[in-house]
Amino acid sequence: MSRVLVGVKRVIDYAVKIRVKPDKSGVVTDGVKHSMNPFDEIAVEEAVRMKEKKLASEVIAVSCGPSQAQETLRTALAMGADRAIHVEVAGAEYDTLQPIHVAKILAKLSQDEKADLVIVGKQAIDDDSNQTAQMTAALLDWPQGTFASKIEKTDGALTITREIDGGLEVIKTKIPAVLSADLRLNEPRYATLPNIMKAKKKPLKKVSAKDLGVDLAPRIKVVSVEDPPVRQAGSIIPDVDTLVAKLKEGGHV
Amino acid sequence: QSTLVLAEHNNEVLSPATQNTLNAAKKIGGDVSVLVAGTKCGPAAESIAKANGISKVLVAESDVFKGFTAETLTPLILATQKQFKFTHILAPATAFGKTVLPRVAAKLDVSPITDIIGIKDANTFVRTIYAGNAILTLEAKDPIKVITVRGTAFPAEPLEGGSAAIDKAPEGDYKTDLVEFLKQELTKSDRPELTSAKNIVSGGRGLKSGDNFKLLYDLADKLNAAVGASRAAVDAGFVPNDLQIGQTGKIVAPDLYIAVGISGAIQHLAGMKDSKTIVAINKDPEAPIFQVSDYGLVADLFKAVPELTSKL
């Protein structure tokens, strides 16, 4: 049976319209609703289902970030993770924290915790990087099953259906492995109130990147964060005939 | 300064996004090489060697590259990098490029840069964050830049006018027992591919069911268009995920984009707002899609779409 490590990121809630800071240094995060990265919810759900099917012995949720990352970890615990590890990263270090740093943290924790599987979301909806699973797998020299839409576990191997550009692809990987969850892998459950209460009592350990020997030196300098160019709205047209005329005018038909 | 472009292909034909990536490589400046790895990828290598401004095409042919897995391509790219010491390694920001390059970057201990839409200079790149709601310009500090390129943000380099030398890529044991490629099931379609189509008809939750997408296919037939969908339509189970247009799906920029029954969520707009002409058909006059559309038609799609199809 496998021990599963799941990476969860606290991000600005997907329903929030983000605002760029006037000094172009980043986006406004203070006082803005945050929640678990939706792709990471799918990763947690998959790990918890593995445990429910007795394919996994334990699910450990990991989050890197400031103290509020613990709220995201509590959500993972309420969904069914057994325990949590908060890797505290705050201030300027958090501003330049990137997948390369997180991958190093996840790789180290996988070894320390003797994990057999690492599952993360395919990308976070804030930086849209889509790198963490691939990099964690590389650092561990494990196979990677990215953009997974179906995961089947057999003895010592995984059969993974992956979402690719023109359709689907099926690969078989050895275990241990690193997986990234795509949209259609599952539908994450909501944490129920009793489970939220129970989650408060589950163990949550705090460590620092330094404890893990991971260097968080920034790899990029943010030059600017700006609003995207606004597309000029055109006109509302009265009927289909006008639309046909416009399409002809534009040389589209 | 020198750049390696990792070509995406099916052994025979290059993906269009590879031609866009080549353009980005030329923008960075300096020497450009291309790596073509596959099982029998001679035709793909010969095809890209015809592009202008490439100094060499490196070819690696072996059965181990079946399925183009990251686990076999990574040691090949690392061996190539060790020999030629490129300053930049580029691939298209497709499922393929996004799968392989971060693995390479981790081995080189550099932070990869995903999905760039612009190049300021050899160290400074532009990309979108928050599903296109903010534009990040960043300066990369790592000595080697590992980058995936958004195809729609760069013009395609034509595959003509040049004759680059074709050489062998460094040889080595690239076999792995970590992963085995089993099969690929590409969605069969007589239609143009979404990411390279000139015209796209796209449907959202307003279609109400997968069966109703037939309305869009009929319209697409008239326009020789590809058919796409919003994430909401995919989430609702109407269509498979490979039709998804948006930040978590495909990024498209056709000449004509017709959005049908799509409200225009931020994540969808990020995937299509660079289209040249946008038409929106939606019964809700308040739908955000009308804020980006050139021609908006406030109408019941179940009446307007068949009418449009019949009048084209």
Would residue A195 count as lying in a domain? Answer: yes
Residue B89 to residue B71: CA distance in whole angstroms = 17
The total domain count for chain A is 1
Task: Determine, yes or no, domain membership for A53.
Answer: yes
- What is the rounded average pLDDT of the residues A195-200? 97
Per CB-CB distance under 8 Å, the chain A contacts of B240 are 167
- When pLDDT is cut at 50, 70 and 90, the band that residue A154 belongs to is confident
The residue of chain A nearest to residue B109, with distances taken between CA atoms, is A100
- Which listed CATH number (3.40.50.620, 3.10.110.10, 3.40.50.300, 3.40.50.970) goes with B2-168? 3.40.50.620
Could you tell me the residue ranges of all domains in chain B?
2-168, 194-311
Q: Which residues of chain B does A39 touch, with a Cβ-Cβ cutoff of 8 Å?
A: 248
What is the DSSP code string of B191-214? SPPGGG-SEEEEE-GGG-SSTTHH
| C-beta atoms of A123 and B248 within 8 A | yes
- Which residues form the domain of A116? 2-220
How many residue pairs bridge chain A and chain B with CB atoms within 8 Å of each other?
247
Could you say which residues from 25 to 64 on chain A have a Cβ atom under 8 Å away from some Cβ of chain B? 27, 39
Q: Which residues of A25-40 are buried (b: 16+ CB within 10 A; e: fewer)?
A: eebebeeeebbbbbbb
With cut-offs at 50, 70 and 90, classify the pLDDT of residue B247. confident
**What pLDDT is recorded for position B64?**
97
Q: Which residues of A touch B266 (CB under 8 A)?
A: 17
- Letter string b/e over residues B200-211, b meaning 16 or more CB atoms within 10 A of that residue's CB: bbbbbbbbeeee
B contact test, residue of A25, A136, A169 with most B CBs within 10 A: A169
Which one-letter DSSP state was computed for residue B188? P
Taking the CA of residue B26 and the nearest CA in chain A, the distance in Å comes to 23
Q: Give tens-digit pLDDT for A20-32.
A: 999 999 999 999 9
Under 8 Å between Cβ of A175 and A2: yes
Q: Is the minimum CB–CB distance between A193 and chain B shorter than 8 Å?
A: no
Residue A245 lies in a domain: no
A244–B182: do the CB atoms touch at under 8 Å? no
Contact A159 B182 (CB under 8 A): yes
Q: Is A213 a domain residue?
A: yes
B90 pLDDT higher than 90: yes
ipTM: 0.96
Q: Please report which confidence band the pLDDT of residue A34 belongs to, taking 50, 70 and 90 as the band edges.
A: very high
The closest of B102, B103, B108, B99 to B143, measured between CA atoms, is B108
Q: What is the pLDDT of residues B124-158, one digit of tens each?
A: 999 999 999 999 999 999 999 999 999 999 999 99
In chain B, residues with a C-beta closer than 8 Å to the C-beta of A17 are 133, 266
Residue-wise pLDDT for B222-244, tens only, equals 999 999 999 999 999 999 988 99
Query: Looking at the predicted structure, is the pLDDT value of residue A113 above 80?
Result: yes
Is residue A174 domain-resident? yes
Quick: pLDDT tens for B169-183. Answer: 999 999 999 999 999
Residue A16 one-letter amino acid = V
**Would you say residue A226 lies in a domain?**
no
Q: In what order do the strands lie in the sheet with B199-203?
A: A235-237, B295-298, B277-282, B256-260, B199-203, B226-229
Share above pLDDT 70 across residues of chain A, in percent, rounded to a whole number: 100
Q: How would residue A230 be classed by pLDDT, with cut points 50, 70 and 90?
A: confident
Q: Check residue A236 and give its pLDDT.
A: 94
> Nearest CA to CA, how far is A51 from chain B (Å)?
24
A173 located within any domain: yes
- On the question of a common fold for B2-168 and B194-311, the answer reads yes
Which is nearest to B174 in space by CA: B68, B26, B278, B263?
Answer: B68
The reported pLDDT for the residue numbered A7 is: 98
**Mean of per-residue pLDDT scores for chain B:** 96
Which residues are registered as beta bridge partners of A232?
none
Across the interface, whether the CB atoms of B290 and A236 are under 8 A apart is answered yes
When pLDDT is averaged across residues B286-297 and rounded to a whole number, the result is 96
User: Mind listing the pLDDT tens digit for each residue in B13-38?
Assistant: 999 999 999 999 999 999 999 999 99
In this structure, which amino acid lies at residue A129? S
Q: How much is the pLDDT for A180?
A: 98
State which fold the B194-311 domain adopts.
Answer: Rossmann fold (3.40.50)
Helix B95-108 vs helix B70-84: crossing angle, to nearest 10: 50
CATH of the domain at A40: 3.40.50.620
pLDDT tens digit string along B94-116? 999 999 999 999 999 999 999 99
Residue A253: per-residue pLDDT:
83
Average pLDDT over residues B295-307: 97
Helix (H, G, I), strand (E, B) or coil at A10: strand
Q: Has residue A98 been placed in a domain?
A: yes
What is the structure's pLDDT at A15?
87
B11 touching A (Cβ < 8 Å): no
Closest CA to B269 of A37, A225, A230: A230
Whether the predicted pLDDT of B189 surpasses 80 = no
Instruction: Judge: B130–A164 Cβ closer than 8 Å, yes or no.
Output: no
pLDDT band at A13 (very low <50, low <70, confident <90, very high): very high
Check residue B40 and give its pLDDT: 96
Q: Closest Cα of chain A to B165: distance in Å?
A: 30
Instruction: Provide the pLDDT for residue A100.
Output: 98
Q: Which of A127, A219, A235 sits opposite B295 (nearest CB)?
A: A235
Of A14, A225, A231, nearest to B273 by CB-CB distance is A231
The pLDDT of residue B188: 77
Give the type of residue at B175.
K
Residues with Cβ within 8 Å of A18's Cβ and at least 6 positions away in sequence, in order, are A12, A27, A28, A32, B130, B133, B134
pLDDT score at B171: 95
Q: B31 - beta bridge partners?
A: B2
Cis peptide before B75 (omega within 30 of 0): no
